[in-house]
A and B are shown apart, each in its own frame.
Chain A
Amino acid sequence: DQQVKQNSPSLSVQEGRISILNCDYTNSMFDYFLWYKKYPAEGPTFLISISSIKDKNEDGRFTVFLNKSAKHLSLHIVPSQPGDSAVYFCAASANFNKFYFGSGTKLNVKP
């Protein structure tokens, strides 16, 4: 059973607009969340993280929001750039080692 779900397999956004990628989880014990970005033929690379003691974390154009009551997190990219086109994975963990990943959302940013 998937404990972390990304229900949108793909998302298309115009350059300069906001991209919002969503992720839901089922395990209330999860207290640490990550977003990874993956280009074709490469391994995932870390993008941004958030712990359950926060509800928001920003890093440049990337912001992650956490809604613990809804067991939902989202990644906002503003403004979106063509180089952001990639597959984005969210991941969650209760012990900082065993991470459960979503199935990924493929983002396409159109010039």
Chain B
Amino acid sequence: EAQVTQNPRYLITVTGKKLTVTCSQNMNHEYMSWYRQDPGLGLRQIYYSMNVEVTDKGDVPEGYKVSRKEKRNFPLILESPSPNQTSLYFCASSYPGSYEQYFGPGTRLTVT
């Protein structure tokens, strides 16, 4: 089954404790992206990647890091999480130039 998976699905952590949210897709998509979703603000892009070792900032990259060492994986790293990073996070993938992105199930992160 074609899918995008994210782990963990739910995470409660404390300020300053480094964490990684994993994202993996099995559709051989070159393009992958991370979004955060907050009430009333819609989906805002954090980082995206056009291919292995090619990443770029989205609209709200501050406080986040990403890496793309393999085509299928695109982890999101929070080196020192803060409460304003409490949000719902989505990973997505697609072929370059495609208008259809496939989203993972989401990771609900709470930073206390």
Whether chain B is bound by chain A comes out as: no
